[in-house]
Amino acid sequence: MSKKYDILTAARLSIAPMMDWTDRHCRYLHRLLSRETLLYTEMITAPALVRGGAVHLLDFSPEEHPVALQLGGSDPVELATAARLGAEAGYDEINLNVGCPSDRVQSGAFGAVLMKQPGLVADCVAAMQAASSVEVTVKCRIGVDDQDPEIVLPDFLDRMQRAGVARVIVHARKAWLDGLSPKENRDIPPLDYDLVQRMKAEFPDLHLSINGGIASLAQAADLLASGLDGVMIGRAAYHTPSDLLAAADRVIFGDTGPDADPIAVTRAMFPYIEAHLSAGGKLAQVTRHMLGLFAGRPGARGWRRVLSEGAHRDGAGVALIEAALARIETAEADVAAQSA
């Protein structure tokens, strides 16, 4: 029997599902930086799993736990099958995407467009729960297009709660499905943290996490202190992973051990990378997620340059990463010498 993880505790801080970013290599790196943080897959569509038979998309490393699978879809029967496959694969949570605004997702009648069909979402999660042995959660927006979030969000949360959902992650922005690109939808619609905090007061028994625009551990800690149950961080955790995750176990979870050292984390990646290369993988598939590890530290530019220029070359391996690390260690030694 697989180990059960304390998902409620882990959900105090989570890393958002991000297409083309939070793949299994990224998650393995993030797990080395934080033992406690809840990690999410990229969104995987139910049709890809059920009709396309692409069950390889569910592959992950046991070290990634606690880890959640995010599904996209709008057909209750198909989502139920996908949720069962995810539970059987060993995921600790199955999450339904009701927030992605991309054209491709809209054409599949799922993602943020489902904010317009809360009844269908309730049907989907009920079917997923019946088929899954692990918890089913929802990630949504505060509304879409001309919807009034003050009306739409409480109604949506009420429907989710009545459907049996105990945890919801709210991206505290509306999504404009017509007129804004997915990138613009991550920046242009204004954030409304106050609304999400009011929803926690209105639904005290619902575990609510907030997402959108959160850029530091200090900000995450403040939001948790305001009464929210969890904080989900996206792009900042990808671009500056050490800043967001190296101290997360101490700052967010109260652990007493030392913060993660990105140099040690880099070398701890070597066995994983060597196994990936031995299986026919490419170095750049892993190192592209490591470029921001030393953001803001001496030598960071040299680190990025060595990896960016060399990781795509045939035969590139951990020796290249050691060469990139030498840029960091040399730069830091120079700084220490100058301040001595």
Task: Compute the Cα dihedral for 48, 57, 174, 155 and give only its sign.
Answer: positive
CA separation (Å) from 205 to 15, 89, 166, 208, 314? Answer: 23, 29, 8, 9, 54
**Tokens for 134?**
């692990």
8 A C-beta contact, residue 76 and residue 129: no
Can you tell me the distance from the alpha carbon of 198 to that of 13, in angstroms, rounded to the nearest whole number?
20
Exposed e or buried b per residue across 170-198, where buried means at least 16 C-beta atoms within 10 angstroms of its C-beta: bbbbbbbbeebebeebbeebebbbebbbe
8 A C-beta contact, residue 132 and residue 94: yes
* Backbone phi and psi for residue 68, each to the nearest 5 degrees, phi listed first: -115, 145
> What's the distance, CA 240 to chain centroid?
14
Exposed e or buried b per residue across 19-57, where buried means at least 16 C-beta atoms within 10 angstroms of its C-beta: eebbbbbbbbbbbbbbebbbbbbbbbbbbbbbeeeebeb
Active site residue 100: yes
8 A C-beta contact, residue 195 and residue 142: yes
72: helix, strand or coil: strand
Could you say which of 26, 100, 124, 140 is catalytic? 100
Residue 336: exposure state from Cβ atoms within 10 A (0-12, 13-18, ≥19): exposed
Can you tell me the distance from the alpha carbon of 200 to that of 105, in angstroms, rounded to the nearest whole number?
29
8 A C-beta contact, residue 309 and residue 326: no
What count of other Cβ atoms lies within 10 Å of the Cβ of residue 113? 20
CA dihedral 88, 89, 91, 92 (to 10 degrees): 40
Active site amino acids: 100
